[in-house]
Structure 1
Amino acid sequence: MSASTQGAGVRPFLIGATWTTGQGTPFESINPANGARNGLIGSASREDVDLAVRTAKAAQARPEWRAMLPHRRAAILHRIADLIEAHAEELAERQMRENGKLRAECVAQAAGGAAAYRYFASICETMPAEVAPSRGDHLSMVLYEPFGVVAAITPWNSPLTLESQKVAAALAAGNAVVLKPSEFTPTIALRVAELALEAGLPPGILNVVTGLGAETGSALVAHPDVRLISFTGGTATGKAIAREAAGRMAAVALELGGKSPHIVFADADLDKALQGVLHGVFSSSGQSCIAGTRLFVERGIHDAFVARLVQAAKALRVGPPDDARSQVAPLSSFVHRDKVEAMVDMAREDGAEVLAGGSRPADPALADGAYYLPTLIGGVTNDARICQQEVFGPVLCVMPFDNEEDLVAQANDSFFGLAAGVWTRDFPKAWRVARAVEAGTVWINTYKTLSVSVPFGGFKESGSGREKGFFGIRTYQEAKTVMVGL
């Protein structure tokens, strides 16, 4: 029975070619825009996870995928991309109902998911091995082998793109995957897995187990046959995964939290900078690891720029994700909205000034959803808790800086190092700051410009390893040296 024809009961998950509701306790999927119930989802127990990993291991050991010629493997990945594009509206609708993201963003992310499969298909077909310079009477070759079974654990904020980026790269590298999506956004992975089988992916090469992190996720991370754990999510969880993996020397790829500095110099194009700052923190309702949540404005223009920013933030239209007029949608869940709200209250207790927002919207039409107003916080210094802790919501902290040296010191004064943005007309200055800021991605006169063709990851506690780009496929491979005597 396919997942899409299961009916009104518990939504099953996929192990091999079998759809099963599992032995765990089913859980509800809730629409954060209105509190409506999306459905009941099957939960994978520890025994179900064990079966999924063993199924993946057996499938990867067979030659159908591991030894498939690269151009044929690429053809299947291209067919998956074709099917994602053909079902883009359906997939976008699923994401919108499950995490509340604006419909336009969901449609764009469906296209991004298909693009990830196409990109890694092209790398799969063209990826070279290496012949190292000889230091004797032998031929030295470097080959790249799949790990075997990869556990991919993904968050709820952008499953259409994040799941595709992980799974497409891992499959292109020749691995088998057990994907555990967030319990808040479970069905996108299930539908894409169904499409992958339709595209000709051998059963068992992509398995999807749904459930809560404490049971399903923990069992997957701890399984001895999982050779690589690829995780995107919170830093605390990433550290726990790294500790578990270290006990058996499993590899990890971790894309974790951020508290990214967004920098506006006095000589910037201030109109463009204003729009960049708004987009950088309030798109996706602030639920983005790369959100520019610490705004540093050169002191000479600080007050005037912040006044414009406050006015613009208050003018943003908060509304349902399926309303084309909406600019800020609900947060992904009521639990998460309450967490964001509590962190703003904490900032108030610490003496911060709320310049805009700082509450749920008063509109009665939005009362049943997990909405929170775009919020600006001033009157703080960079060592404040609200400036050091990741909020993961539509909350921006605004601070002045005096000079380049002062700016770099403040920007780097964070446990995180995921992204940064710089606005200035002075390119040498922009280059100096970009090199000095400790971040995996730095944007100059733009923000949140993303591409599957460049590596992505963080410094410090924002993670380890890189995804996307050519580096993205190497993350899912191990180097092997072969020496041939001559």
Structure 2
Amino acid sequence: MNVRLGSEVANATDDVIVSINPADGSVAGTVEATSPAELDAVVERAWTAFRSSGWPTLLPHRRALLLQKVADGLAAQKESLAQLQMADNGKPLGECRGMVDSAIGTFRYYAGVCETIETDVTPRRGDYLSFTLLEPFGVVAAITPWNSPIMNDATKVAPALAAGNAVILKPSEDSPLLAPELARIALAAGLPEGLLQVVQGRGPEIGSALVAHPGVRMISFTGGTATGRAIGRVAGERLVPAALELGGKSPHIVFADADLDHAVAAVVAGIFGSAGQSCVAGSRLFIEASIYDDVLARVVVRTKSLRVAPPDAPGVEVGPLASFHHRDRVHRFVERAREEGGRILCGGAAPAGDEFDAGAYYLPTVIDRLGPEALTCQEEAFGPVLVALPFGDEQDLIAQANGTAFGLACGIWSDNFKRCWRVGRALEAGSVWVNTYKQSVTSTPFGGFKSSGLGREKGIDGLRLYAQVKSMYFGLHEQPLEVAR
């Protein structure tokens, strides 16, 4: 897949995907779109590589060594990859560097898992020895979103390769530039050709064709819930497994006995980091009624102080949104909140000034005076928009916090251990943070409840996700088997 960077760009056509730098509207680069006919060839190459390269049967420590070399390649090109991601989707440069570090760590982690993961010798219940094996699916489709390209790509590709599969990676059409770089680095590290390929294009076209392709044996998708449901329907009809990491409307809870300085800082970081473009962003702030006005005022003061700036500016805290059409979507979300009776305490518009006029910027926004049933409190903005709501007691809180279709993450601030335990157990969420927020580590499983998804990425389970369990029996009987009587 050829990548042309900004200065070499010709006029875009239907055969070309253009990445627009959301900081200034310039062209960051282009990639060639994959046609349905080309997709057939990609899948065929993947199966050829899977069957002829010896990768599925390579001894685990040999496979692990190559994954370590991929990590080394990423590390050697960390700065250029971070700069490319900054241009591709507008994240602050420091955050982009951190995401390359995350990708490096993911490959190193799954190299370790690859050569140490154990299967089971199961208890004997007869004259046989029985045990399990993990077998790859064959060809896996990995579909990643635009918000954290290199990190999300690694989260899927590393464990899928570690499990012995061939991988076809489809990045978002809004951030297409990092995936080809990962494939190039993997090939240079020694991964057999055809085991990691990239297809480019829009979801309704090449994404749909990839999901429906009869040569794809497993699907892994991160993105919006509506798209996840559509993929789930296709996977169900085809009877292939689908791992779906979907949206969230995560509650961030502050009790009156919390360390309020830490809580307020975490609330602001938890929603406005990455300009709110995070599936686990704490987009619903629940504050105990007795401290509601005080905490909300402190959140607003801190929000107004955030430095909104170009992603390479010193001290930037909030950069542009990833695309202009997404910025417009976020603004429509805020306008609907106004129509529902919400009070905009800060933000609610694009920032003014020469450095912002050409970019997809949006001010960090705090809204209150909406009921929990308001659409603004039910649907995911996926942007720098925080909705604040009061609660009376634990029962009231749990009812409100669980009162959406989502169940991805939540945060609890309280010095009462037993309360944190009770509330954490009662909340329907795949990740619960107590007196912290938005922590994530490759070694800990990640995924959601309800409409926030199916399956678990990361951790040892993240490798098992891409493998099938095979049971084997070795007969130990001394006499011939008889027909059961």
| TM, length-normalised to structure 1 | 0.96
Q: Which amino acid aligns with 2:154?
A: S
Structure 1's unaligned 5+ residue stretches are: 12-20
Question: Could you give the per-residue CA deviations for residues 63-104 of structure 1, whole angstroms, max 9, x where no partner exists?
Answer: 521111111110000000001011010111111001100100
Is 1:306 paired with 2:296? Answer: yes
| 1:141-184 C-alpha deviation (Å, 9 max, x unpaired) | 11110011000000010011110010000000000000000111
- 1:55 is matched with which residue: 45, 48, 52? 45
Task: Indicate conservation of the 8 Å contact 1:146/1:478, yes or no.
Answer: yes
SS in structure 1 at match of 2:470: strand
Matched, 1:360 2:350: yes
- Corresponding position: 1:245 with 2:232: no
Residue 399 of structure 2 corresponds to residue 409 of structure 1:
yes
* 2:272 equivalent among 279, 282, 287: 282
What pairs up with 1:49-448 in 2 under 5 angstroms? 49-448=39-438
The answer to which of 47-56 and 413-422 deviates more is 47-56
**Counterparts of 1:9 and 1:109 in 2: how far apart (Å)?**
27
Q: Deviations over 1:367-401 (max 9, x none)?
A: 11000000000001111000000000000000000
Q: How does 1:35-46 map to 2 (within 5 A)?
A: 35-46=25-36
Corresponding position: 1:8 with 2:3? no
> 3-state DSSP class of the match of 1:64?
coil
Looking at structure 1, the residues matched to 318 and 437 of structure 2 have their Cα atoms a distance apart, in angstroms, of 17
Work out the CA distance in 2 between the residues paired with 1:472 and 1:135: 31
> In structure 1, the residue corresponding to 2:229 is in which secondary structure?
helix
| Contact preservation (8 Å) 1:317, 1:328 | yes
Task: Give the superposition deviation at 1:216.
Answer: 1.2
Q: Distance in 2 between matches of 1:135 and 1:359?
A: 68
Does the CA contact (< 8 Å) of 1:147 and 1:227 recur in 2? yes
1:478 aligns with 468
What displacement does 1:47 show?
A: 0.9
Q: How far apart are the structure 1 equivalents of 2:308 and 2:3?
A: 34
Kept after mapping to 2: 8 A contact 1:10/1:26: no
Q: What amino acid is the match of 2:218?
A: L
The offset of 1:360, in angstroms, is 0.6
Distance 1:330 1:224 in 2: 39
Q: 1:348 to 1:7 in 2, by over 3 A?
A: closer
Distance change in 2, residues 1:449/1:458 (3 Å) = same
CA distance in 2 between partners of 1:158 and 1:91 (Å): 12
- Secondary structure of the structure 1 residue equivalent to 2:445: coil
Deviation (angstroms), 1:126 = 0.7
Query: Per-residue deviation at 1:364?
Result: 2.8
My pick for the range that moved more, 230-239 or 244-253, is 244-253
- State the one-letter code of the partner of 2:84: R
Aligned to 2:483: none
Structure 2 letter corresponding to 1:113: A
Secondary structure class of the residue paired with 1:214: helix
The alpha carbon displacement at 1:27 in A equals 2.2
Q: CA RMSD in A?
A: 1.7
Q: What is the one-letter code of the residue matched to 2:439?
A: T
Cα separation, partners in 2 of 1:315 and 1:227, compared to 1, 3 Å = same
Take 1:118 and 1:285, find their aligned partners in 2: how far apart are those partners?
Answer: 29
2:93 and 2:311 in contact (8 A); partners too: yes
Deviation at 1:24, TM superposition (A): 6.0
Q: Give the superposition deviation at 1:9.
A: 5.5
1:39 Cα deviation after fit: 2.4
Question: In the aligned structure 1, how far is the partner of 2:175 from the partner of 2:354?
Answer: 26
> Following the alignment from structure 1 to structure 2, what is the Cα–Cα distance between the partners of residues 136 and 458?
40
Deviations 1:333-352 (A, max 9, x none): 00000000001001101111
CA distance in 1, matches of 2:385, 2:7: 40
1:108 Cα deviation from its structure 2 partner: 0.5
Q: More displaced, 39-48 or 471-480?
A: 39-48
User: Please, which moves more after superposition, 194-203 or 363-372?
Assistant: 363-372
* Match among 457, 461, 464 for residue 454 of structure 2: 464
Give me the whole-angstrom Cα distance separating, in 1, the residues matched to 2:92 and 2:331. 21
**Is contact 1:295-1:398 (8 Å) kept?**
yes
- Note the residue ranges of structure 2 that are not aligned, 5 or more in a row: 477-485
CA contact (8 A) 1:419 1:458 kept: yes
Q: Which amino acid aligns with 1:8?
A: E
C-alpha contact (below 8 Å) 2:4/2:29 kept by paired residues: no
Change (3 A) 1:2 1:368: closer
Residue 116 of structure 1 deviates from its aligned partner by 0.3
Runs of 4+ in 1 over 4 A off after TM superposition: 1-7
Equivalent AA in structure 1 for residue 26 of structure 2:
A
Instruction: State the Cα deviation string for residues 235-284 of structure 1 (Å, max 9, x = none).
Output: 00000001011111011000000000000000000000001001100000
Q: Conserved in 2, the CA contact under 8 Å of 1:259 and 1:416? A: yes
- In 2, Cα distance between equivalents of 1:9 and 1:33: 18
Q: Secondary structure at the match of 1:383?
A: coil
